[in-house]
Structure 1
């Protein structure tokens, strides 16, 4: 099959990306194959080979597409400098809506493939670095505004801790949504952020809200 003309190629690129996204949403990265994408387009694997000559090329495109879709999703307004903006950013990550849940499922399904490929793993590490970089300026502002218990806290380290906490909560919520519904996820995030603030010390305990994991009702 001859390669598509430049104009046709650009015209079909969006269709191909939409088909890739449809497969990801339905089957995750485990079901992402040239055959599955071709079926979603009612096309042939031969046609797709002009776009993705290898399975790795298909996966790399899917990861880039997922990052773009994640960046373009509706986001909460940044209410104020410092910790309120950190809270808004982290809430945008959590699976609090059906769309957020579906997107997080796709991300988690990509990890096995990324871990098995040094290049993809490096790209994924870069994505985490960009996320930490998004959070860090707001934590620096929190320090200037005396919203942190430690005025000299390392903002980079705090950003890493915040991202690690949030993504850990994402995984638990995906696997056990009944135990980690929206209100519990939000309460746990608020407790985490409160632990960074003034008055937080070694004797501080997470509040035992009804339904929180580990509580009497949990």
Structure 2
């Protein structure tokens, strides 16, 4: 690789790190070319070399957010069915400092996504994928006899995601009342209720 290419890749990495720093500290509302330049200790002109405007900057920021979400440490899926469903729920919760930051940035992105058709469609598709993964775990649980055959996978997946996101929001706004241990306890109690209600 040529030195020029190496320098370009290193500089783009620095820009991406600065974008994430601004997101983590100020959310999407504070994400501007000037803010990214300030985080880098560079000129705005350098940043505009990488982004033609705010829309390109936001698109890159969302790519970074998705990549960090996928790369963060997660509980493994120990076995199909309810064990996987439990891991999926816990993996979405803000149980670590990194999890708090990632969830905060996602919540910050909602307002923007509701106002932009392209971002709205992307966020809708993302939640469809999450529900599909949860639905697969529920279907496996039915197949394994952990849930009755009458349990509706789509409804249970939507219920699980609704509970989890509700808990995420409460934990972000009131972390003192919802520390990690309480989040885990509430998640365990909820999943126990899901098992019981599905059998009713």
Offset of 1:170 from its aligned partner? 0.2
User: Residues 151-206 of structure 1: CA distance to partner in whole angstroms, max 9, x if unpaired?
Assistant: 1323233222211110111001111122222222112211221122256567xxxx
Q: Are the structure 2 counterparts of residues 184 and 11 from structure 1 closer, same or farther at C-alpha, using a change threshold of 3 Å?
A: closer
Offset of 1:134 from its aligned partner? 2.2
3-state SS, counterpart of residue 112 of structure 1:
helix
* Distance in 2 (alpha carbons) for counterparts of 1:156 and 1:103: 26
In structure 2, the partner of 1:206 is: none
In structure 1, the partner of 2:73 is: 74
User: Residues 35-83 of structure 1: CA distance to partner in whole angstroms, max 9, x if unpaired?
Assistant: 0101111222222223221211111111111011010001112122211
| Higher RCO structure, 1 or 2 (CA under 8 Å, sep 6+) | 2
Contact 2:81 2:137 in 1 (8 A): yes
Task: Find the partner of 2:167 among 164, 169, 176.
Answer: 169
Q: Report the aligned-residue RMSD.
A: 1.9
Contact 2:151 2:198 in 1 (8 A): no
Q: Does 1:197 align with 2:192?
A: no
Q: Does 1:185 align with 2:193?
A: no
* Distance in 1 (alpha carbons) for counterparts of 2:71 and 2:160: 22
In the TM superposition, 1:83-122 aligns within 5 A as: 83-122=82-121
In structure 2, the partner of 1:13 is: 12
* Distance in 2 (alpha carbons) for counterparts of 1:36 and 1:167: 29
* Distance in 1 (alpha carbons) for counterparts of 2:152 and 2:27: 37
Moved more, 22-31 or 32-41: 22-31
Q: Does 1:27 align with 2:48?
A: no
Question: What are the ranges of 5 or more consecutive residues in structure 1 without an aligned counterpart?
Answer: 203-218
In structure 2, the partner of 1:209 is: none
In structure 1, the partner of 2:42 is: 43
Q: Are the structure 2 counterparts of residues 200 and 124 from structure 1 closer, same or farther at C-alpha, using a change threshold of 3 Å?
A: closer
Contact 1:147 1:198 in 2 (8 A): no
